[in-house]
Structure 1
């Protein structure tokens, strides 16, 4: 049963603890250390220390403490044997002015394996120090309020970024652009919930201004619009983070494997004049114009009695189904000789390629051919005359129903530049520019929690005139879902809003 008093309703809000969001290992009173730079031989390696015994660690290895945030060249020795291990830079970051919010230090040493091993062993001999677990420095930064969960995820994405566009998106998220949007929504939602709770508990005492619920209705509608617009981003940020699924599809011997080899600039797939050479899916990761792509070459789509080829065709159709973008390759030499028949032929051919898997033979992929979800590649342009090519271009240009197409010769490379330009333009449309406009969703976790928040706000409208307590529960659920995105939620924040806005008891 739902409670209507403020104290009891506030108790219904669950505070999301750090320990439940992130599985911390060990105690936060421990002092941790680890190699923070890459493994292997390098010019300089960075060993990081964080925790209450950081000062002891620095003094034990260097017999002194440098000024805060000033790099000093020091002799680094084992604290027990006093054997010299290296000479390097030592930096001291007293808390809370550090990445983790704790006392921290860094040893910038030479990157030889023996030097790194010696320094790590020396730190392990200092009382109160232990090796850090994976991601533990960042966990402590989150615990100290230095980062919210979206910024933590942005930091992880930055570390794993492989392309320029991924780097830009990760930097923007790590800087807090995405978190600030969610924080703004939380502030607005807290105010709405505080006003509704106050109306439930104190309206009979005439301490609440007239029209307060009307203001809440307006604010909730605006929040719903903002959230739904944010969700309707066509998964641009998620595509950019994980990579765009690009599938090369078409009939047998159309030149699909040749196109894969041309784009990857290596013999990634076997090319043969024998039809049906490709039986399985061949995948290659590429960086195309700064956008990450998972490029897949698939089996030629045709009816076959060969069991292995049938399985290859089935897998090919599944990949087409899941693709963000299809490169549909067509053999120019097989086009009808009558130019007037070209638009209809190509449209029917596209439907045969982009149809659903054999499990649903009568179901066509629910995408408009006007959308940029495929590129038609007319291959083997070197095998037709220039006059024939001009007639094809003229026919396609005259027909409003003709799909956009790129002429290409995988044999000579003619047309590759135009194809790459079209491909990069489409990738930019699918992923967006990470530096322009509002930041996009980057995690499935964000999308799931935002959808739950939207559903909860719809619950508020559903029960608004029937039961205000149930309507308030919708606001609480929405606020909880938003808080789980950033990792910040607590009932005391709503209490603060009530006292600030209404000065109850004055």
Structure 2
């Protein structure tokens, strides 16, 4: 259960994981200056010594008084050597102090939002920026941080607010027949214009979930074809069990793999095709079938020291296939229509990664300059605004040729709901 409380003082490492020359530890909340006292002269930066390990650890401290900080609270930021073990000890040391605890995931940004240092779109953008795994996701996060959708919706919201004011003016002066704030025909045309603008935003949008979905690239082939060795070699770590015994891989293994150029795939290692009477093979067959069905690209692995077989068309089922001859270090001859690779020497792996990227270039979702990246919340709110505008048009349709509006209160209600939905997007 989340322990997020606005009044608490919190601490966490605020740099990306891993080793670096410098890393940042942030303390935020009413007790931040008590945890790391500011110099008497009120300096905003200074050297401090933290009682960590057996000796005092020097650190550069930066003090920010509320509201002039990232979170809008009193904040101390400590610049320290980027050693993960050392940073953890620093956090542990401060977390043992009274009224100071470890921050929950995203809590600094949540406080920045609650203290009106960030809009909701900016907070969402920071969240997406941290979790981004590709150039497209980084571009989407940048859109959210800059509030691109909100800025587009501002103009539409202004026009909606103007129309709402005119309709409400008609309600206020309903007892004066000579006062017509806006004619039904004009209102209908302007509502349609707003509707078309929002519809266009949706047409040139892509769900962020679609950008986050990694293409599935599946290694498949006969047993003992070196698939698991290649899987480990591409990942740069031992993830799959490798054995000279045929059929050592029984499960479906999946790991994200970065490609040259910044994109990423989900690399999947399957159990090899083998004896259908083997009970273990039969158990893994269904998982294998599902993985092949979901694959965006197939890597057909066959050992170079054995005769090659044709790709099973029932397995490929119209999917793109890259032919691979594994264990090429064991066979001097090269096959001209396949990529020769060796998990032992690394030969051919760079060529294989380039081939994967080229094969997937048409299917990987990218974000062009004109495309809008939408969170599920944005899609829902745009859909709600569009529905309210359509309801407004239906109310106006029977009276387009009339000199004055009727059903003003119903029309005003629909416009108000559309405006509220747009307001939630704008933040």
Same fold per superposition (TM over 0.5): yes
Matched with 1:50 is 28
Which residue matches 1:421? 354
What is the CA RMSD across the aligned residues, in angstroms?
Answer: 4.5
Secondary structure of the 1:465 match is helix
Change in 2 beyond 3 A, CA 1:24/1:251: same
1:321 counterpart residue number: 293
Contact 2:221/2:300 (<8 A) preserved:
yes
1:72 aligns with 2:39: no
Alignment partner, residue 68 of structure 2 = 97
- Report what 2:369 is aligned to: 437
Q: Contact conserved, 2:170 with 2:408, CA < 8 A, in 1? A: no
The structure in which a higher percent of residues are helix is 1
Pair 1:408–1:461, CA change in 2 (3 A): farther
Give the TM-score normalised by the residue count of structure 1.
Answer: 0.61
Q: 1:320: how far off?
A: 3.0
| Structure 1 counterpart of 2:315, from 345, 353, 373 | 353
CA distance in 1, matches of 2:316, 2:389: 38
**In the alignment, structure 1 residue 465 sits paired with structure 2 residue 397:** yes
Could you say what secondary structure the match of 1:304 adopts?
Answer: coil
**How many residues matched?**
392
TM-score between the two structures when normalised by the length of structure 2: 0.70
Give the aligned partner of residue 408 of structure 1: 339
Q: 2:160, 2:419 within 8 Å by CA — same for their partners in 1?
A: no
What is the rounded CA distance, in whole Å, between the counterparts of 2:128 and 2:60 in structure 1? 29
**Deviation of residue 109 (structure 1)?**
6.1
- Which runs of 5 or more residues in structure 2 are unaligned? 399-406
| Aligned counterpart, 2:10 | 33
Deviation at 1:141, TM superposition (A): 0.6
Shift of 1:224: 0.6
**Secondary structure of the structure 1 residue equivalent to 2:308:** helix
Does structure 1 residue 379 correspond to structure 2 residue 324?
Answer: yes
Aligned mates of 1:270, 1:40 — CA distance in 2: 27
For the structure 1 residues 43 and 284, does the alpha-carbon distance in structure 2 shift closer, same or farther, using more than 3 Å as the test? closer
Q: Does 1:215 align with 2:194?
A: no
Partner Cα separation in structure 2 for residue 24 and residue 192 of structure 1: 40
- Is the CA contact (8 Å cut-off) linking 2:129 and 2:142 kept in structure 1? no
* 2-structure distance, mates of 1:228, 1:113: 47
* 1:145 and 2:120 correspond: no
Q: Following superposition of structure 1 onto structure 2, how do residues 289-308 of structure 1 map, counting pairs within 5 Å?
A: 289=260, 290-300=262-272, 304-308=276-280
Change (3 A) 1:481 1:267: same
Cα distance change of structure 1 residues 103 and 62 upon mapping to structure 2, 3 Å threshold: closer
Shift of 1:316: 1.8
The one of 180, 202, 222 equivalent to 1:206 is: 180
The unaligned stretches of length 5 or more in structure 1 are: 1-22, 78-83, 336-345, 356-368, 391-405, 489-506
Q: How does 1:246-265 map to 2 (within 5 A)?
A: 246-249=217-220, 256-257=227-228, 259-265=230-236
Residue 260 of structure 1 and its aligned partner are, at CA, apart by 2.5
Q: 1:238 aligns with which of 209, 225, 230?
A: 209
- Give the secondary structure class of the aligned counterpart of 2:218: strand
Distance 1:251 1:90 in 2: 59
Q: In the alignment, is the contact (CA less than 8 A) between 2:275 and 2:281 conserved in 1? A: no
Secondary structure of 1:224's aligned partner: helix
Distance (whole Å) between structure 1 residues aligned to residue 46 and residue 266 of structure 2? 46
> What whole-Å deviation, never above 9, does each CA across 1:155-184 have from its counterpart, x for those lacking one?
2344445x563784476246x23x321342
1:180 aligned residue (148, 151, 164): 148
Q: Indicate the SS of the match to 2:397.
A: coil
Larger mean CA deviation between 144-153 and 438-447 belongs to 438-447
Q: In 2, Cα distance between the equivalents of 1:247 and 1:64?
A: 63
Cα offsets for 1:201-246 (capped at 9, x unmatched): 517531236623312212211211221221xx3x5x5355454332
Aligned equivalents of 2:277 and 2:159: distance in 1?
66
Residue equivalent to 2:159: 191
